[in-house]
Amino acid sequence: MIILHYLAAFFAGLFLCNCIPHLACGLRGEPFPTPFAKPQGIGLSSALVNFLWGFVNMTAGLLLLPWGMVRIELTAGLILFLLGFAVLGIYMACHFEAVRLGKKDAK
């Protein structure tokens, strides 16, 4: 394994680890710091921004895995999986943030 494979595996781990808090907060409709907040990395970003940032990190990590000699193939199945994940995640981030902020009544 050459050094680039090791680096790809390492960065895949970094991206996949970083996606967890952002996806979790986004899916719960909660704010959390992102690089897009003011001040950067300290201020809070919306649930949707967190979900999308987590999704980008997850995608980057998954795409780096094969370069790190970890086998996940880019197939139609994986693309559909990511699409389904994104569609539901965006809906949940927006819905639960609205519920948390009192913009939707609990019936």
Residues of the chain with pLDDT > 70: what percent? 95
The CA distances from residue 100 to 37, 44, 103, in Å, are 20, 15, 8
pLDDT of the residue at 56:
97
Mean pLDDT estimate for the chain: 86
pLDDT of the residue at 76:
84
Which positions ≥6 away from 51 have C-beta within 8 Å? 22, 23, 26, 27, 89, 90, 92, 93
pLDDT of the residue at 85:
84
Tell me the whole-structure pTM to 2 decimals.
Answer: 0.76
Domain boundaries, the chain: 3-100
Predicted confidence (pLDDT) per residue in 11-56, tens digit: 888 899 899 999 999 999 899 999 999 988 888 999 999 999 999 9
